[in-house]
Amino acid sequence: TDLDQFITGLPKAELHLHIEGSLEPELMFALAARNGIEIPYASVEDVRAAYAFSNLQDFLDIYYAGASVLITQADFHDLAMAYFDRAAADGVRHAEIMFDPQTHTDRGIAFATVIEGLLSAMAEAEAKHGLTSALILSFLRHLSEEAAFEVLAMAEPYLDRIAAVGLDSSEVGHPPAKFARVFAAAAAKGLKRVAHAGEEGPPEYVVEALDLLHVDRIDHGNRAMEDAGLVRRLAGAGMTLTVCPLSNLKLCVVGDLADHPLDRMLAEGLRATVNSDDPAYFGGYVADNYRAIAKARGLSRDDLATLARNSFTGSFLPAAAIDRHL
């Protein structure tokens, strides 16, 4: 349709994407066969049927299990290339992708295997599609501060190829404060900072991400809407929120997309963006997310263009590159 073409044609950046969450069931089966790994599913349909989640933890259990088929550098390359091909087809011109080293190093995969595979796909995506990208090294927050420091140490030889650190996995019970020191160490190394906050966790976790982690973006941030003072602060600071509508629906952060706060965020002056989070698990890539939220909330083309603009202004691209995209 007309709106589909408008959405695909809008130049967009994707700022909230877990590369492990772009593992489609077909590739999961192919990699399981290639690597001789058993997975607890009989078919692709069987995998998709397992993707019914009632909260974040339900999803995370399945997501970590799925990642067990990723073994070689070629696997990480193929995973990322499949994402970049889909993103390019959706009109994504720049992607800042999170990866979770601990999901792999904790099962004996070398950090170098993971990052070299991702970096080679990033170079190929730029050559093939003109799609630029950046890496966000994410710490799993259900693990210790000490373990996060170990991840930062492993990344040391690659710091010139990493844009930022991030914080993901189980939010409630693992507040940003737990990672204040490792985020300070990352900042001292010149890395930008993002953190998931206010997805399931309370508005106070968003405040901690600002005050203790000194984040450059908030991933999700939905529950900031419960605190009017915090909304004013985020708006005044020009803080970018990386919102993920289909993720919010699938993880029951919202009961119905018709109740999603995205347009209220824009109306309150928040720099919201639209992203896919874990597209293979949540039923859609970035254009699907724009389409779904446009339909559910009756967004105008102006709103959609604002969201796409916000994705570039909230990116970690240099100012001159941002200008070229606007």
- Is residue 277 close enough to count as binding Zn ion by CB under 5 A? yes
- Nearest distance from residue 147's CB to ligand ES4, in Å? 15
How far from 224 is each of 193, 235, 268, CA to CA, in Å?
Answer: 18, 11, 12
**Residue 72: Cβ-neighbour burial (10 angstroms; 0-12, 13-18, 19+):** middle
* Residue whose beta carbon is closest to ligand ES4: 168
- Is residue 75 close enough to count as binding Zn ion by CB under 5 A? no
Between CA 223 and CA 203 the distance in angstroms is: 5
The item of Zn ion, ligand ES4, none sharing an interface with residue 21, based on CB under 5 to 8 Å by kind, is ligand ES4
User: Structure tokens of 145?
Assistant: 């501060």
Of 63 and 179, CB closest to ligand ES4: 63
Of 168 and 263, CB closest to ligand ES4: 168
> Within a 13 Å sphere around the CA of 319, how many CA atoms are in the beta-carbon half?
0
Selected catalytic residue, list 24, 199, 200, 208:
199
Between CA 201 and CA 150 the distance in angstroms is: 26
Contacts to ligand ES4 by CB under 6 A:
18, 21, 56, 63, 100, 168-169, 171, 196, 277-278
Does residue 156 carry a catalytic annotation?
A: no
- Nearest distance from residue 59's CB to ligand ES4, in Å? 7
Nearest Cα to Cα of residue 75 among 106, 46, 104, 45? 104
List residues near Zn ion by CB under 5 A: 277
Known catalytic residues?
199
Q: Which residues are annotated as a binding site for Zn(2+)?
A: 16, 18, 196, 277
Q: Which residues are annotated as a binding site for substrate?
A: 278
